[in-house]
């Protein structure tokens, strides 16, 4: 009986964390967002030696969330790792990849790319690959689809 209560408490806490996961970064004025994209995001990615193709992919994600700020919640359950104040760039790209190409097999690839992006941004390997392992586990167990259902409630 005690084990069941603990499991229910953990599930309730995870649901709470899912519901509370929010980011207001993209709710800023459009001009401010454009300035941060052009003068912070792009130079930062160049400084970390991302290719021009990768930078273009990040810009595409950024522009998408400028148009759809309500869809961006940052890293879910775990704390954001700010690359720019109030913006976890790796989480932004990962969210965008899920929204635009979120089939099961593609999500697994996006999870690995998320870890690689974090590593390229010098996030320690335990954090990067630990988050990747958590995401891969969630996807393989079908918890991602359950998460989508829960967050709609």
Q: Tens digits of per-residue pLDDT, 19-33?
A: 555 788 999 999 999
Count: domains in the chain:
1
Query: In which domain, by residue range, is 137 found?
Result: 2-152
Q: Tens digits of per-residue pLDDT, 47-75?
A: 999 999 999 999 999 999 999 999 888 87
Percent of residues, the chain, with pLDDT higher than 90: 59
Residues 6+ apart with CB under 8 A from 5: none
Q: Tens digits of per-residue pLDDT, 107-125?
A: 999 999 999 999 999 999 9
CA distance 145 to 139: 8
- The pTM (predicted TM-score) of the whole model is 0.82
């Amino acid at each position: 009986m005690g084990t069941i209560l603990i499991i229910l408490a953990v599930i309730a806490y995870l649901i709470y964390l899912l519901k509370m996961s929010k980011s207001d970064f993209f709710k800023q004025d459009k001009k401010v967002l454009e300035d941060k994209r052009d003068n912070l995001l792009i130079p930062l990615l160049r400084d970390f030696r991302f290719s021009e193709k990768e930078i273009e992919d990040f810009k595409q994600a950024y522009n998408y969330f400028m148009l759809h700020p309500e869809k961006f919640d940052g890293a879910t359950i775990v704390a954001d790792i700010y690359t720019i104040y109030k913006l976890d760039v790796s989480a932004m790209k990962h969210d965008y990849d899920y929204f635009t190409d979120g089939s099961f097999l593609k999500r697994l690839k996006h999870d690995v790319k998320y870890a690689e992006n974090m590593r390229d941004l010098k996030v320690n390997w335990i954090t990067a690959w630990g988050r990747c392992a958590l995401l891969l586990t969630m996807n393989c167990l079908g918890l991602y689809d359950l998460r989508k259902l829960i967050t709609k409630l």
